[in-house]
Amino acid sequence: MTGDVEGVVRIRLLGGFRVSVGGRFITDGEWRLRKSKAVVKLLALAPGHRLQRDQVLDYLWPGLDPAAAGGQLRKVVHEARRVLDPSLSVLDRYLISGEQLRLDRESTWVDVDAFEAAVLTARRTGDPAAYSAAIELYDGDLLPEDRYEDWAITKEASLRSDLLALLVEQARLLEARANFDGAVSALRRVIAADPVHEEAGVALMRVYSLAGRRHDALQEHERLRAALNLELGIEPDPATERLFEQIRSGRPAEPELAGELLEQIGGLRLVSGDFQGAAEAFAAAIARLRGSGADLRSARLHRKAAKAYLMTQDAAAAERHIQTAEGLITGTKDDAEKARVLEARANWLWAVGRFDEAQSAAEASLAAAEAYGTGEDVAAVQETLAIICHIRGAWRLGLQAEIGRLGDAGDDDPRLGRIFEFHCCIGEYHLYGDGLCETVEDYARGTLTLAIDRGARHAQAFAWCLLGESLLLRGRWDEAAGCLERSTELYAELDARAGALPWQRLAELAVMRGDSTAAAACLRHGMAIAVVSPLARHAWGRLYATAALDALEQGEPAEAVRIVRSAAATAARYGECPSCTALLYPTAAEAFAALGNRAGAAVFAQAAERVAQSFQSSAWTAMAESARGSLALTDADAGGARERFLSAARLYESAHQPFWSARCRLQAASTGAGGPADRYLLDDAATVFEQLGAVRTLAAARRVT
Q: Is residue 549 part of a domain?
A: no
Task: From residue 3, give the alpha-carbon distance in Å to each of 9, 110, 310.
Answer: 10, 12, 41
What confidence score (pLDDT) does residue 185 get? 97
Residue 630 lies in a domain: yes
Residue 291 has what pLDDT?
A: 56
Task: Say whether 453 sits in a helix, a strand or coil.
Answer: helix
Determine how β-strand 108-110 pairs with β-strand 9-12. parallel
Whether residue 409 is contained in a domain is answered as no
Residue 481 lies in a domain: no
Q: Domain boundary at 93, 110, 127, which?
A: 110
Answer whether residue 106 is part of any domain: yes
Compute the distance between CA of residue 478 and CA of residue 496 in angstroms, rounded to an integer.
Answer: 26
Q: What predicted TM-score, i.e. pTM, was given to this entire model? A: 0.89
Residue 631 is assigned to a structural domain of this protein: yes
- List CB contacts of 469: < 8 A, sequence separation 6 or more: 427, 431, 440, 480, 484, 501, 505
Of 569, 504, 560, which is closest to residue 533 (Cα–Cα)?
504
Q: What sign does the dihedral 541-542-543-547 (CA atoms) show?
A: positive
Which of 63, 92, 110 terminates a domain? The answer is 110
Number of domain units in the chain: 2
Residue where a domain stops, chosen among 110, 125, 155? 110
SS3 category, 315: helix
Question: Residue 420's pLDDT is what?
Answer: 79
User: Would 71 be classed as within a structural domain?
Assistant: yes
- Chunked into runs of 10 residues, the chain (705 residues) has average pLDDT values of 66 96 91 94 94 93 89 93 84 85 92 96 92 96 92 93 96 93 97 97 94 93 96 94 88 68 89 90 86 75 95 95 93 90 96 94 93 87 89 88 69 64 87 93 94 88 96 97 97 89 97 98 96 88 97 96 95 88 96 94 95 92 98 95 97 97 96 81 95 96 82
Q: Supply the range of the domain harboring residue 32.
A: 9-110
Alpha carbon 682 to its chain's center: 33
Q: Is 516 exposed, middle or buried (0-12, 13-18, 19+ CB in 10 A)?
A: middle
In terms of DSSP bridges, do strands 95-96 and 100-103 run parallel, antiparallel, or are they unpaired?
antiparallel
CATH number at residue 36: 1.10.10
| 585 within some domain | no
In this prediction, residue 4 carries a pLDDT of: 47
